Amino acid sequence: MNTTFLKNPLALIVIATVLALIPLLFDNENILVILRLLSFAIIFYAIHLFVGQKRKVSK
């Protein structure tokens, strides 16, 4: 598997947004909670990668 896609913050934010919107199609609270927590974790990881890229460029 190519891991460069998983290190792209913009792609991760798009994936997290899609995961956060999927529960709107279902009426299950468990799916809603799990996917929203997963999307928040992905967003925080994307922010971490974005800040790390900025630090590498500034050095």
Per-residue confidence of the chain (59 residues) as pLDDT tens digits?
566 767 788 888 888 888 888 888 877 888 888 888 999 998 898 888 888 876 666 65
Per the listing, tokens 């947004």 go with 17
Provide the whole-model pTM: 0.72
pLDDT reported for residue 19: 86
Amino acid at 3: T
pLDDT reported for residue 13: 87
Domain count, the chain: 1
pLDDT reported for residue 32: 85
What is the DSSP code string of 11-42? HHHHHHHHHHHGGGG---HHHHHHHHHHHHHH
Per the listing, tokens 């999927």 go with 22
pLDDT reported for residue 3: 65
The domain in which residue 20 lies consists of 5-58
